[in-house]
Chain A
Amino acid sequence: MATRSLRGRLTWTFAVGAAVLSTIFAGLTYFGVRHIIVVSRQASDLQQAYVNAALVRSAVAQEPASLSSLLTSLDAATTSSSLVRLGSTWIEGTTVADPETIPATFRVAGTEVIRQVVIENNVPVLIIAVPLPAVRATYFQRRELADLNGTLNRLLGILVLGTLFTSGLGAYAGRRTTRRALAPLADTAHAARLVAEGDLTVRLASDAPHSEVATLSAAFNEMVDQLVRRLDRDARFASDVSHELRSPLTTLAMSAEVLRLHEGDLHPDAREALALLTTDVATFQSLVEDLLDIAKADAGTDALFNEVLPFNELVNQCVLSATRRHQLPTTSLRSELPREYYVSVDRRRFERVITNLLENAYRYGGGRVTVTMLPSNGGVEVAVDDNGPGIAPDERERVFERFYRGDLASRRGNAHGTGLGLALVSEHVKRFAGRVTITDSPLGGCRMVVWLPTVEEGGE
């Protein structure tokens, strides 16, 4: 049997419990009622047999010729079959009651009244034998109990229906009860899902302060509080470390720059070492900057200075700035916008988004990069295409995780990235109420698409 939910199992338990109880009750009722009506019927038939036997005894003694008609009238009055045995002579009423139907055990002349219920042609029959020693005769009475069978059949049918109804009622009650009882579990599961999705503000409430649900809610809330404190501590730590590293790194970079101004005086080996030092210090500076940005975003300490800007002009300026500042190759820029659109973004962060996307495309792509602006479903998109090896579909979400490298870096070329560039893109775009996705590029590589909602000119 397939595994059921907790609610399903509880409902089933309610139904089975109701079925068991109602079956026991129905069984006791049935057997009790059957005993009462069978005993009652046999007692009344016995009384009738005694009365008939007394009449037969008088007829045998005083007017034997009237015996047959007496039995006929008794049969008509009592709906039973009467027989009298006088030695080897059997006298019956009009109702067919073949002496052969009298069990052999009854034919033995006795001195006591005996009775037996037997089955004849699937019908229960009560046979009573009353010895009449005064006239050397025996009176037999046969009575079919088909009507009793009918009554018991109806009773059984009603009890079975009652049992089924009660079982159904039990299942319904179980379903209703478990829905209420398990509602806090559903709330907890929902809250846990929200926490997993990043909403750390969710907390559980409990109406009953000392109940098990309250204990569960308190434990859950405490767990989320601890998680928030832990995340805050980690974010502060990363922020502090990044901040402390920035000053000596700047000094290191400036020193390297001074050395680079006099690199002509240096030995060739020293020149090569200086070049390596300059490159690594730049990478390290970039990593610290990214780390600091992410730590501030996590801690919520970075202020967002959104302003409404024309999208086309914004993207053009950002691409130009990134190209100059990071010495990137000239990028092909194309707009498919039918008109001017406005977006609400923090200019510094958006420039960082474009820079990171371009750096990523040039670093891991095949060398050809294009930027395209186009309208899209209530917003605008900026798509950065490259002609590199692309990104496998199952990796397209994970590349936005921090320090995710997987097969991507090795497959797409060198690994000089910080591992935080795309994570930072995702963080910033989310704060603009936008989203970033990856698809296949018409250039053969991958296409990173940033979608942003548009706003009215001059709006917020």
Chain B
Amino acid sequence: MKRLRTPALGLLSALLLSACTLVPTDPSPRVVDSADVPSGLLNGAESKQSATVSLWFFDSQGRLVMRSARIQAPLTISALLSQLALRVPRGLSTALPPKLVMSRAVIRGGEATVVFTAGFQSGDAVTTRATMQQMVATLRDNYGISVLNVTDAATDRTFTIDAPTP
């Protein structure tokens, strides 16, 4: 009788234990056979298109003014901030420091969170506020955000600014 009882209990235990992980998990990512992926999704040639973006700078009166520019796709926050910091049109100025280093940006709904690891707070509070105003206006026009959160990883401080009404 014991010969029957042992496998029965073993099977029952295995069945009950399997309940702990009903859906089997994968120990590591599994590659999907490329033949099963719709053609063109993975093999499309890199786009050489450029996109027209809105960039905001300060005029001599200290007011924010918008200028259009074309940048290489894809449109990223990093690319926009580079434009704001380094490609300043004649007669205008920018509050963004030239050596701004961004580690990550996340856009969730109407809120953008940007993390800088270096170069954000190079000036005083007025300059920091001007930097925030310039970025939020630019991101509002290009990503439709309404709130910008900036985290300065160097000082571990976070700044928040609402986007102005267009």
Contact = CB atoms under 8 A, between A and B. Distances in A.
Interface of A: 9, 12-13, 16-17, 19-20, 23-24, 26-27, 30-31, 34, 38, 46, 50, 53-54, 57, 60-61, 64-69, 72, 86-94, 96, 99, 103, 105-106, 111-119, 124, 129-137, 145, 148-149, 152-153, 156, 159-160, 163
B85 to A, nearest CB: 15
Nearest to B23: A124
B76 A87 contact: yes
B102 interface: yes
A26 B19 contact: no
B10 to A, nearest CB: 9
A115 B30 CA distance: 5
A117 B24 contact: yes
A186 to B, nearest CB: 23
Interface in B78-101: 78-79
A13 B4 contact: yes
B119 to A, nearest CB: 15
Contacts of B29: 103, 105-106, 114-116, 129
10 contacts: A30-B15, A46-B32, A60-B74, A87-B74, A88-B77, A90-B106, A92-B108, A94-B108, A99-B106, A160-B16
Contact of B23 (A50, A130, A152): A152
A203 to B, nearest CB: 36
A91 B107 contact: yes
A23 B12 contact: yes
Given A9-B1, A54-B38, A65-B142, A16 B74 contact: no
B90 to A, nearest CB: 27
A90 B142 contact: no
Contacts of A91: 106-108, 143
B22 A67 contact: no
B110 interface: yes
Interface stretch (B46-54, B61-69, B129-137, B152-160): B46-54
The bracket for how many chain B residues form the interface is 35 or more
B126 interface: no
A38 B24 contact: yes
A131 B161 CA distance: 33
Contact of A113 (B4, B8, B23, B42): B42
Nearest to B144: A65
Best-surrounded residue of B23, B74, B143 (most CB of chain A within 10 A): B23
Given A16-B8, A64-B142, A134-B44, 7 more contacts: A13-B4, A67-B107, A94-B108, A112-B34, A117-B23, A117-B26, A156-B19
A72 B32 CA distance: 26
B110 A68 contact: yes
B41 A89 contact: no
A89 to B, nearest CB: 4
A135 B16 CA distance: 47
B25 interface: yes
Contacts of B118: none
B34 A113 contact: yes
Contact of A89 (B22, B47, B76): B76
Given A134-B47, A148-B23, A152-B23, A50 B41 contact: yes
A134 B43 CA distance: 8
A118 B30 CA distance: 12
Rank and list the top 8 A-B pairs by shortest CB-CB distance, nearest first. A134-B44, A64-B75, A152-B22, A124-B23, A113-B32, A114-B29, A116-B29, A92-B108
Contact of B76 (A88, A99, A106, A129): A88
A51 B49 CA distance: 22
Nearest to A12: B1
Nearest to B8: A20
B103 interface: yes
B74 A27 contact: no
Contacts of B104: 88-90, 99
Given A20-B7, A27-B11, A112 B31 contact: yes
Given A23-B8, A88-B103, A134-B44, A116 B143 contact: no
